[in-house]
Structure 1
């Protein structure tokens, strides 16, 4: 997308990368007939492509956390999707709102079609839909307020038309909330729809009705002894040449899976459970209720009970029908069920050829250390891949590469809670992010030597820290030598981490050896990786020698077994790692702890020479609000800077490292002058303190080419200031923004000396880039006519964040290129990278 700006030339912004984790909610993921997957990432709907393992876009529009998504057509209706130019997606949130989105397959463009009339007063728990023709769908939604709604949706026949939506029925299901749904057309020519619902009362409720009439409660299926968690109807299955049977599979927190058979009464031989060979069939002993639908009636019986999972079974799903021919709607419904459980496994169940007894034929995921259970499992449209989403917001994908050999595949990954801080590596080869999900993650473009049409793809390549506290801030150390960073969490200690040898080698594989310059000397690094401690706080180093000498587990060494969870195996990766490897084998060792602050840490920054780190913590008084300065290397505290009375929210060193700027909740900013003596000692003095805004100041950023800086506040303003002769002068204030300003980052344009771009991030998730151009007098101060500003570009909401932006960071642009990269992170759990081209 492009934007013009006075004096600054045209600015073009492209999405490069989105990293996000999946909401930890059961019905959150859907695999569409389009081949794309949808999931809720906080209050945005994220779309990812399994082929490239990249998140393509996020859809902004929900005001609350997204609970469930559902494609129309879903993977079950691939055979009806051949002629569709548009596919549709439904998403429901924790406020009860449901939004319909349209995807144009030709150009991959999304648009929000409509928001459904608010029929649910509480969060939507499940959405399920079926295609009744090429252009018509029926879907149902349930909510924790005890209501269910059934809707009819008619798609436009031309590409530009609108959808027609009508509510067929809305009814209360009682005080016990329903959390699982499935819809189906009943076999035969009756045109009847059946809706199965299950939830907290341990029963499956079946509702029946025509397409235009209201649904009536037909019967209940009892058998499960705990909450029903998932329901799925098959398409009609052919038995003995007759397609008069439909199956319903249900799963529950009682760890069991039940398969229910619904057979058209007229098709049952003389109706007494005696099959064609004259033998009494098992169904006569376990016949359930009769479902009356219009003029037809269906005998329900329990076909099978599947026991195999050791924990709650959160989802069950029939394998999508296989398209029998390219012409018409012919299909074949395989008898194959996928189940996903909190016991960290997914299983595929099929009936044995000879006895028809349902057996578990495939189990995946059982070796996982880190998934902490699966919230749902999904088939790909053609049935050759299965995907689970787990407790840690993670995806796990397996593909059948032949003969039931299921191998793990690459998937997108990301944080599953607010991302609080982000920074570029000193070399610019990767970005590092920290989050309230208690992890630190590293993302990098993985370069491939073979010429790919789409260029390089970004992936998570390391998870240096898996912690026991929510992480609030981090700073990359810019001095030469090994990669290091400091991070601060909901504890009073800052922790210093150093890259192990396994990471340096993985990074050189990702960048094709470009980054291993002489200052990253791998030969000096004796630490191969790190182990997690029992409480998840300190990460212990694993030394290179220790790997060759197997440690003895007996005697005195045996006492140490409680210190570490199962030993990590530091690994050098030649392709992007998958979730299990990331969470276990890519940790960095902790080298120092910095003690001193009285409360949990809130912000950190490092100077540009890599000699000093500044830290601040949450504060309600001037004594606690002081900023500590630490010397890199010795890690001694070399300064305590007192100026503010409340939490210092952000700090930044000027680019010549002579000044430290701090902004605070007390609405003031301070500038400290830093002098270094020849002996390496540091002295600091307060140059100025000033009330800058009417509300909390959230962010600040220095001009890379001068002594000007910007501050951004909750009062929706950005002000530009300059240091002149030991005092501070306000140069200007940008026009008022539509939302609180929460993040700022100023970058200089090398090809235009006195120009810069200021990235402004807001509470509503929007990012704007502003051109700043200025004239300098001989003494370096800004001369008349002063500073000129213009809006260069407002980034498209579909590639922006859907919630508060916590940090923006430009990649250091050493070359004289017009193309730059901007990284951002936000409360929508997302990390994003944009390409910004200035013409």
Structure 2
């Protein structure tokens, strides 16, 4: 991706994101990729590498559901396909069709479907009718169901043909689960099953092109129906005249319904055969009429085993038959996922035919809070769950039904508010409204095993009880530390425990001890969570694990007793269960002083001062506090603004502090340090810089120039003169959207040359070349500052909603290759390689 002057190239390195907490949000395609909604972006991840490969921008509202055409269920029909398609539906009722070209991995938005749904789309379910033809149904909380036909182009260059076959209202109780299937036999009829808030399964029938008519309903569940899935025709006595439907409900039960073509139930004399009475004999249900065929429906089995709502049930995808070439058969195997934090695989016993639970996997910790859905890999050897905390959980069958947890991508499940590089540049740390801070790092692999490195979440230092609005890494020498501020009036200081330092050494392949020789001095191994999720208490290296005495009945575990964490040194990237519990950092200090929720934090480059601000409606509350690192005493209260200070930054020589605010003004404070460590400060200047809120600011690393970015869609560059006056140098051309984030990096090979990264409310990121000539006195004249657009980053690797923060990696040895980290309201953390 090149553009403008100066030949700048940008590549995506890493995307971290959590999954929306919505039931039908995830789909595993025949392509091998998994799709899910991350806020208003559609994210695609590759289970083999455990990396999110891209996000698709286009939705204006939260993505509720995604569905591949073909899904893993129709892999056998997808062998010759060069392109796969993905449907995504959002909370505004919009459905978008995307196309993935398998040859080059390129995505494009094909079309937005006519918006027939007036409210959020709750479920999309489809099937491949032939190699080039698919049918799918969508349902919405506006109580309508639409049935669509999609014809794929035969050649690579053609267009998709989309038509709406039917659209009907289903009364006052909306449907939240759908499944489509072709009925067995040669009638060419389609059956659509739907279930929802009226506790019944409704079956609709019709031809491939005509209208669907209500055929019958299946009663039995006593609570909302959450999931439905048709099998492919199952071979019984040499005839594939049976099709099964599995349904799950909030009544904790799973029901398997059998639909048998009536002609196959006749014996030679035209009399119905009654099979022997066995354990699996069915309870006769209604008859489904489809054209000239009729199907007897019966309850095949009732599966009881989950202890909470069963959110999803799916049939194992068809497997290739070893007997005949190229044929596939439907395994009798069902996967269920429940809010009881388990997934189960059910299969009929060989002798009695009774359906049994043969495999149970799950998260035992109290962190997972249940699963919203379960999915099979295309070949049936892996199963994936997504949970309440936006997390994925993947198990692989490594042989003999031994299912082991695998690595998966992870990330925040709410907007990411702040991001910063570690002092060493080895990792990034992010803060979010999902009440966590997380650390992502490239996990280097020994060269002998595999080239390159993949990024993973390696620690979750803070799991809090409030939304976290800001954080700052402390840059001074010594152990890794950071400060975070949340929707409370306290800033909290955290210090890296020994278990993290050793894990980081494993990730970076540093065989020796840490550079500052910290490892020997760190006495804290890890941290424990407190009951209310506020303070994290240290676990000391010497701590002896005492076994508590049993105190009779009173000692039974309750919600109030939280098990101790086990701080662990990881030799490979940790999985969700470990991250949420065993990678916390201890809290070392609390900083009290602000009158409202914390909003912004920053640290100077020497690691001696931290500045903090809070939400404010008055000048008294809007003051910026200065804290001395180490003693953590408040050493200054800077007053200048009348509304919330939105961002602050120290100049690179630490002589100035720049603050920008909702009151449309920016202030520059002069900071001086005496030999005895005393701090004195004064307001150098305050100016109304923009017509709207100023969201962001950034200093030139090589001088006393700074940039401000505002909701008025402009970026302005200013300079602090020798006489301490502040002068505007230039205004960049107006941007398409509000400017919400800025970060300025110097290019070392050209001292008077910089790159300014500009992040916008629409998710776009642009890089601007800034070149300037200094006069003899070191000042820049406005005429000698030239700004030119270097590159507009491809929307497919940018954010899908507002960019909240941008940060360049500071200490890089290679001056032509830079790394830029960003975070946004689309729940994503991103890292880009920038080659200059």
User: Under a length normalisation based on structure 1, what TM-score does the superposition of the two structures give?
Assistant: 0.97
Q: Is the 8 A contact 1:102 1:112 kept in 2?
A: yes
Q: Residues 472, 559 of structure 1: CA spacing in aligned structure 2 closer, same or farther, 3 A cutoff?
A: farther
Per the TM alignment, residue 262 of structure 1 is displaced from its structure 2 partner at its CA by 0.2
Deviation of the 1:274 alpha carbon: 9.4
Report Cα offsets for 1:364-423 as digits up to 9, x if no partner.
005233110000000000000000000000000000000000000000000000000000
Measure how far apart 1:36 and its partner are. 0.4
1:102-123 C-alpha deviation (Å, 9 max, x unpaired): 0000000000000000010000
1:346 corresponding residue in structure 2: 343
| DSSP 3-state at the match of 2:543 | helix
SS of the equivalent of 1:270 reads coil
- Secondary structure of 1:547's counterpart equals coil
Classify the secondary structure of the residue corresponding to 1:524.
coil
**Residue 157 (structure 1) shift:** 0.5
Give the superposition deviation at 1:279: 3.0
Judge conservation of contact 2:191–2:203 (CA < 8 Å) in 1.
yes
Distance in 1, Cα, partners of 2:277 & 2:324: 41
- Sort the Cα spacing of 1:594 and 1:405 in 2 relative to 1 into closer, same or farther, 3 A: same
Secondary structure in 1 aligned to 2:691? coil
Cα separation, partners in 2 of 1:336 and 1:19, compared to 1, 3 Å: same
Q: Deviations over 1:696-722 (max 9, x none)?
A: 000000000000000000000000000
Q: 1:365 to 1:23 in 2, by over 3 A?
A: same
Contact 1:80 1:329 in 2 (8 A): no
Shift of residue 323 of structure 1?
2.2
Does the residue aligned with 2:520 lie in a helix, a strand or coil?
A: helix
Q: Alpha-carbon deviation of 1:777?
A: 1.2
Helix, strand or coil at the partner of 1:673: strand
Q: SS of 1:271's equivalent?
A: coil
- Summarize the Cα distance change of 1:522–1:271 in structure 2 as closer, same or farther, 3 Å threshold: farther
Describe the SS at the equivalent of 1:650.
strand
Query: Contact (CA 8 Å) 2:471, 2:484: kept in 1 or not?
Result: yes
Deviations 1:559-603 (A, max 9, x none): 999986111000000000000000000000000000000000000
Query: What displacement does 1:254 show?
Result: 0.3
Q: Give the distance between the partners of 1:819 and 1:395, measured in 2 at CA.
A: 33
- What is the rounded CA distance, in whole Å, between the counterparts of 2:346 and 2:148 in structure 1? 32
User: Residue 395 of structure 1: which of 370, 392, 396 is its match?
Assistant: 392
Residue 235 of structure 1 contacts residue 333 of structure 1 at CA under 8 Å; is this kept in 2? Answer: yes
Q: Measured at CA, do residues 107 and 806 of structure 1 come closer, stay the same or move farther in structure 2, by a change above 3 Å?
A: same
User: Compared with structure 1, are the counterparts of its residues 480 and 561 closer, same or farther at alpha carbon in structure 2 (3 Å cutoff)?
Assistant: farther
Deviates more, 1:401-410 or 1:365-374: 365-374
Q: CA deviation at 1:805?
A: 0.4
Q: Does the 8 Å contact 2:709/2:715 carry over to 1? A: yes
> Matched residues in 2 for 1:103 and 1:556: separation?
59
Paired with 2:559 and 2:540, the residues of 1 have a C-alpha distance of 19
Return the alpha-carbon distance in structure 1 between the equivalents of residues 756 and 158 of structure 2: 40
Q: For the structure 1 residues 581 and 819, does the alpha-carbon distance in structure 2 shift closer, same or farther, using more than 3 Å as the test?
A: same
Q: Which segment is superposed worse, 359-368 or 192-201?
A: 359-368
Change (3 A) 1:577 1:65: same
1:324, distance to aligned residue in structure 2 (A): 2.6
User: Structure 2 CA distance, aligned partners of 1:330 and 1:496?
Assistant: 62
Q: Counterparts of 1:224 and 1:461 in 2: how far apart (Å)? A: 43
Does structure 2 conserve the Cα–Cα contact (< 8 Å) formed by 1:275 and 1:281? no
**Cα pair 2:4 2:789 within 8 Å, conserved:** no
What's the CA shift for 1:815?
Answer: 2.3
Deviations 1:205-226 (A, max 9, x none): 0000001110000000000000
Alignment length, in residue pairs?
A: 833
Q: Give how far 1:452 is off.
A: 6.0
Aligned equivalent of 1:554 = 551
Structure 1's 78 and 273: CA in aligned 2 closer, same or farther, altered over 3 A? farther
Deviation at 1:498, TM superposition (A): 0.2
User: What is the CA-CA distance between 1:786 and the residue it aligns to?
Assistant: 1.6
CA, structure 1 residues 285+518, in 2 after alignment: closer, same or farther (shift >3 Å)? closer
Q: Which moved more, 1:234-243 or 1:323-332?
A: 323-332
Offset at 1:650?
0.1
Distance 1:333 1:654, change over 3 A: same
Distance 1:751 1:357, change over 3 A: same
Moved more, 614-623 or 772-781: 772-781
Per the TM alignment, residue 783 of structure 1 is displaced from its structure 2 partner at its CA by: 3.8
Q: Retained in 2: the 8 A contact 1:347–1:362?
A: yes
- Tell me how far apart the structure 2 counterparts of residues 526 and 765 of structure 1 sit (CA, whole Å): 43
Query: Displacement, 1:518?
Result: 3.0
Aligned 8 A contact 2:39 2:62 in 1: yes
Following superposition, the deviation at residue 792 of structure 1 comes to 0.1
- Whether contact under 8 Å (1:154, 1:165) holds in the other structure is yes
Distance in structure 1 (CA, Å) of the matches to 2:411 and 2:253: 32
Q: Say if 2:307 is the partner of 1:310.
A: yes
SS of 1:306 mapped into structure 2 = strand
**Residues 505-545 of structure 1: CA deviation (Å, up to 9, x unaligned):** 00000000178443141010000000000000000000001
8 Å CA contact 2:666, 2:686 repeated in 1: yes
- 3-state SS of 1:482 partner: coil
Task: Answer yes or no: is 1:645 the counterpart of 2:642.
Answer: yes
For 2:705 and 2:797, locate their aligned partners in 1 and report how far apart those are by CA, in whole Å.
Answer: 30
How far residue 161 of structure 1 moved from its aligned partner, in angstroms, is: 1.0
What whole-Å deviation, never above 9, does each CA across 1:150-194 have from its counterpart, x for those lacking one? Answer: 000000001111100011100001110100000000000000000
Partner Cα separation in structure 2 for residue 8 and residue 195 of structure 1: 56
Judged with a 3 Å threshold, the aligned counterparts in structure 2 of structure 1 residues 661 and 558 are, in CA distance, closer, same or farther, namely farther
CA contact (8 A) 2:65 2:121 kept: yes
Instruction: Measure, in 1, the Cα distance between the counterparts of 2:35 and 2:270.
Output: 44
Gap change, CA 1:558 and 1:400, over 3 Å in 2:
closer
Question: Which moves more between the two structures, 553-562 or 803-812?
Answer: 553-562
Distance 1:295 1:572, change over 3 A: same
Q: Deviations over 1:626-683 (max 9, x none)?
A: 0000000000000000000000000000000000000000000000000101110000
Q: Which blocks of at least 5 consecutive residues in structure 1 are unaligned?
A: 1-5
Instruction: Give distance in 2, aligned partners of 1:776 and 1:247.
Output: 77
Contact 2:265–2:273 (CA<8 Å) still a contact in 1?
Answer: no
User: Is the contact between residue 4 and residue 791 of structure 2 (CA under 8 Å) also seen in structure 1?
Assistant: no
Report how far residue 299 of structure 1 moved: 0.2
Q: CA offsets per residue over residues 759-791 of structure 1, 9 Å max, x none?
A: 000000000000000001122111474200100
CA distance in 2, matches of 1:154, 1:451: 47
- Compared with structure 1, are the counterparts of its residues 299 and 327 closer, same or farther at alpha carbon in structure 2 (3 Å cutoff)? closer
Question: 1 CA distance for matches of 2:184 and 2:736?
Answer: 55
For residues 300-347 of structure 1, give each alpha carbon's deviation from its aligned partner in whole angstroms, at most 9, with x where no partner exists: 000000000000000000000002379986211000000000000000
Pair 1:249–1:816, CA change in 2 (3 A): closer
**CA distance in structure 2 between the partners assigned to 1:788 and 1:808 by the alignment:** 22
Moved more, 556-565 or 94-103: 556-565
Deviates more, 1:190-199 or 1:816-825: 816-825
Q: 1:310 to 1:816 in 2, by over 3 A?
A: closer
Q: CA deviation at 1:615?
A: 0.1
Q: Which secondary structure does the structure 2 equivalent of 1:27 belong to?
A: coil
Helix, strand or coil at the partner of 1:583: helix
Instruction: Assess if the C-alpha contact under 8 Å between 2:252 and 2:307 holds in 1.
Output: yes
Q: Alpha-carbon deviations, 1:245-288, whole Å to 9, x = none? A: 00000000000000000000011145999996863567887211
Structure 1 residues 676-685 or 446-455, which shifts more? 446-455
Secondary structure at the counterpart of residue 556 of structure 1? helix
| Structure 1 residue 477 displacement after superposition | 0.2
Q: Aligned with 1:18: secondary structure?
A: strand
Q: Deviations over 1:457-498 (max 9, x none)?
A: 000000000000000000000000000000000000000000
Q: Does structure 2 conserve the Cα–Cα contact (< 8 Å) formed by 1:664 and 1:698?
A: yes
- Counterpart of 2:335 in 1: which secondary structure? strand
Question: Do the aligned partners of 1:699 and 1:742 also contact (CA within 8 Å) in 2?
Answer: yes
The verdict on how the C-alpha distance between 1:558 and 1:319 changes in structure 2, with shifts beyond 3 A counting, is closer
- 3-state DSSP of counterpart to 1:283: coil
CA distance in 2, matches of 1:346, 1:807: 38
The separation in 2 between residues aligned to 1:560 and 1:373, in whole angstroms, is 19
Report the secondary structure of 1:580's partner residue.
helix
Shift of 1:84: 0.2
Contact 1:532 1:564 in 2 (8 A): no
TM-score (norm 2): 0.97
Please tell me whether the aligned partners of residues 78 and 323 of structure 1 are also in contact (alpha carbons under 8 angstroms): no
Change (3 A) 1:557 1:71: closer
The answer to whether the 8 Å contact 1:265/1:271 transfers is no
